[in-house]
Amino acid sequence: DPFQLDALIQYVDSHQDEYVETLRDWVAVESDSSDVLKRAELEHMMDITAEKLRKMGGKVELVDIGDQELSDGTKIPLPKVVTAQFGSDSSKRTVCIYGHVDVQPAKKEDGWATDPYNLTEINGNLYGRGASDNKAPVLAWIHAVEAYQALNMELPVNVKYILEGMEETGSNGLDAMISQHNHTFFSDVDYIIISDCGWLSRKPALTYGTRGNCYFLAEVEGPKQDLHSGVFGGTVFEPMTDLIGILDTLIDSSGKILIPGINEAVAALTEEEMKLYEGIEFDLESYQRKIGVDRLMYSSKADLLAHRWRYPTVSIHGIEGAFSAPGTKTVIPAKVIAKFSIRQVPDMDPLLVEKQVSDHLNAEFAKRNSPNKLKVTMVIGAKPWVADLKDSLYEAGKRAVKTVLGADPDMIREGGTIPIARTFQDVTGKRIIMLPIGGFDDGLHSQNEKMSRYNYIEGTKLFVAYLHEVAQVWKVVI
């Protein structure tokens, strides 16, 4: 049958309540990849994902990607990766859609207005952990194919899926799986599509870059057990004081990274980039209001976007072992582990960053002349990714956005990390497009994460249209 976008759009509209119900089922699964106690839930999530694709007639596999080594040395199986294939017509292009169905942790007590695992619709927004990151976009891609099938319309391209369950903790095991399947699963793939990001404003967007991330643990160990701060305070070198002291040498109050060598590696900002940033729809005041802060670090749009997307930054996430409960326990913690990360941008190299951070912290620690022990480990080393803005995959994206959403998308980058994007590029050599459907205010990783019904349903239509547009893209860049 010829391509009939109107019929497909109508089909999506009339099935939107079913799509919301499926999202409800998926959100109900607490597939938190950071908590090993939730591993059974995560495995269940991978199973229901595989089952959904199997029911649609896909050639589905649950691929074993080995074990995860825990901090105490024990090993547990990593959640299997779901691969699926719809169509193998060699006269058509083949796209591979990547997504993840694991989520960040969430508890009602963190300050959620609703139960994070019970999808709740309020004023057109669907609240729930993982709703936007990344369950609704994954489902939208599945429903896009289902719509073609339901209308007996031939898929314009062969469609493959690769859906993982460890993205939120750095895509453990996926690099190796991609290398192993490079000459099998990926051999006939032309383009890789990722929808694990969001728009910058109410205007639709296409994403052409992501930052990487190097995640560190810095452990300071002192006395053999916790001590009374009145009885022992003043006589021992406190691990927490040492740790806070060295953490304070990572970044200054103006946002300048103080670790030698880091800033020197950053690719210079070009005038072309600045011009692009200036033309993007982004309102600093509403961004500031949304976050709820009195002042931002930069007052011009271009500076702010540049620091969000294409400069590195240090974030300190937490300290394990520190006293953090309510109350006034007068304790000297014996062992504390700081968790911080540095977002990576071109041309930083995670292996070099690992050495720079370790050398710097050890040198700062030595200055303190403390008898405590410092151990620095990098647990995630994800590289940044940038696409060629002129790639015809993006022209196809612009056409699909214009057709479905009636707007020209902004070309944006993402401050967050999709660890596997760069591996796809480096190992498979395939061209990649990021096609976001999440809203700018979805609250990813935060309390009250949501996906709007509008973005979910219009996003499904956008994917339907993109499958048609991408079928016409040249295989080679010319």
Ligand X SMILES: NCC(=O)N[C@@H](Cc1c[nH]cn1)C(=O)O
Q: Which residues here bind ligand X, judged by CB under 6 A?
A: 133, 168, 170, 196, 213, 215, 380, 382, 416-419, 444
Catalytic option among 146, 167, 175, 238 = 167
Phi and psi angles of residue 339, each rounded to the nearest 5 degrees, phi first: -120, 120
Least distance to ligand X, CB of residue 19, Å: 21
Q: Is residue 100 part of an annotated ligand binding site?
A: yes
Phi and psi angles of residue 7, each rounded to the nearest 5 degrees, phi first: -65, -40
Least distance to ligand X, CB of residue 379, Å: 9
Number of residue whose CB is nearest ligand X: 416
Least distance to ligand X, CB of residue 452, Å: 17
Catalytic option among 30, 32, 102, 414 = 102
Q: Is residue 354 part of an annotated ligand binding site?
A: no
* Cα-Cα end-to-end distance for the chain: 31
Angle between helices 16-27 and 5-14 (to 10 degrees): 60
Q: Where are the alpha helices (DSSP H) in 151-291?
A: 174-180, 229-232, 239-247, 271-278, 284-291
Q: Which is nearer to ligand X, 137 or 156 (CB)?
A: 137
Q: Is residue 445 part of an annotated ligand binding site?
A: yes
Q: Which is nearer to ligand X, 147 or 163 (CB)?
A: 163
Q: Which is nearer to ligand X, 42 or 444 (CB)?
A: 444
In Å, how far are 96, 174, 178, 280 from 181, measured between CA atoms?
13, 10, 5, 38
Residue 281: count of CB within 10 angstroms of its CB: 15
Least distance to ligand X, CB of residue 18, Å: 25
**Residue (of 342, 150, 410, 361) closest to 245 by Cα position:** 361
Least distance to ligand X, CB of residue 167, Å: 6
**CA–CA dist 458, 469 (Å, integer):** 16
Residue 87: count of CB within 10 angstroms of its CB: 16
Q: Which is nearer to ligand X, 169 or 392 (CB)?
A: 169
102 is an active site residue: yes
69 is an active site residue: no
Distance between alpha carbon 17 and the CA centroid of its chain, in Å?
27
Q: Do 378 and 235 form a contact (C-beta atoms < 8 A)?
A: no
**CA–CA dist 117, 293 (Å, integer):** 28
**Residue (of 167, 168, 37) closest to 177 by Cα position:** 167
Task: Give me the sign of the Cα torsion angle 307, 309, 311, 312.
Answer: positive
Residues lying near Zn ion in the complex (CB under 5 A): 133-134, 196
Q: In this structure, what DSSP letter does residue 111 have? A: T
Q: Which is nearer to ligand X, 215 or 365 (CB)?
A: 215
Among Zn ion, ligand X, none, what binds residue 213 when CB lies within 5 to 8 Å by partner kind? ligand X
Q: Which is nearer to ligand X, 32 or 196 (CB)?
A: 196
Phi and psi angles of residue 411, each rounded to the nearest 5 degrees, phi first: -95, 115
**Residue (of 361, 75, 322) closest to 216 by Cα position:** 361
Look up residue 366 and give its amino acid: A
Q: Which is nearer to Zn ion, 134 or 452 (CB)?
A: 134
Q: Do 186 and 96 form a contact (C-beta atoms < 8 A)?
A: yes
Q: Is residue 359 part of an annotated ligand binding site?
A: no
Least distance to ligand X, CB of residue 392, Å: 26
| Residue 216 β-bridge partners | 340, 378
Among Zn ion, ligand X, none, what binds residue 120 when CB lies within 5 to 8 Å by partner kind? none
Q: Is residue 133 part of an annotated ligand binding site?
A: yes
**CA–CA dist 21, 456 (Å, integer):** 12
Place of tokens 């639709």: 204
Place of tokens 């980058």: 413
Least distance to ligand X, CB of residue 422, Å: 12
Catalytic residue IDs: 102, 167
- Known binding positions for Mn(2+): 100, 133, 168, 196, 445
- Known binding positions: 100, 133, 168, 196, 445
